[in-house]
Amino acid sequence: MRIYDGSKLDKFNIESLSYVQINSCGLSTAKDDFISYRKNGRVDYHILYVDEGECKVLYDGKEYGLKSGNFVFYPPKMTQKYTHLKGTKTIWLHFNGFCIEEIIKQANLKFGVTFSSHSLTIKNTLINLISKYNQKNSVPEEKPTLISLIYTLGKIQNNINSIDEKLNSCISFITENHSLNFTTCDLAKICNVSPSRFMHIFKEATGSSPHAYQQSLRINNCKTLLLETNLKISDIAYQAGYDDPLYFSRIFKKITGVSPKDYRKNKLFNE
């Protein structure tokens, strides 16, 4: 695998006397797998945005897999290492300036990896910046576009954090009320997102669909009731939220491999 040492002969790794300045930027398509590495980072700030494919990045000693729409934001002088997998398309930007730190704080843009969805707005803004950067007679036009990008990325991060908080509340709601019946639309409203978006972020966070997650909670509770109480199987089914005991028995056997009756009788299944 090819390794590009970005710390060697990097003529764009420069301090800035301007309030906002782009040092270098561009688009890249990996013809094969290769690694970019800067042990001591750079003196400026760095954004790497994944347009297509997958890129593995090292941030603060941990490796992350970035896919389309994800990005990493490096502060100055931090080790930068990322592996471009063949076919991956990335857009990158190095910038600094004596006002940049304050602008980043005001935009509430955080350093690190952000797992966001692909955004044509971000992509087009980055491409616009690259175009303006390459037109040397239009350099001043870069500055408002760059500042706008910083604020947009900050909003994306804040929206993700807000959704994460609401998703945690939603998961807690399902856990505490797993015997109740509710729809995907009901749960999506808690997160204030569309049902399809909710299904995506829920599965990404838990590894299962909301229905499967609720079903698992119900069955685990039923296991406890079967072992620790003398309740009738029909009563356990009703208590768990199943209107039809026969349907409950079929679901229980499908998930555990045995019927509720056999689960209660044979302790071998319960170990």
Cα(250)–Cα(160) distance, rounded to whole angstroms?
A: 39
Mean pLDDT by 10 residues, the chain (271 residues): 71 81 91 88 94 92 90 95 91 93 94 90 91 68 85 90 84 90 91 87 84 91 89 94 94 92 73 48
Quick one: DSSP state of residue 138?
A: G
The amino acid occupying position 177 is: N
pTM confidence score? 0.66
Burial class of residue 222 (count of CB atoms within 10 Å of its CB; 0-12, 13-18, 19+): buried
DSSP labels, 53-66: SEEEEEETTEEEEE
In the structure, how many helices (H) and strands (E) does the chain have? 9, 10
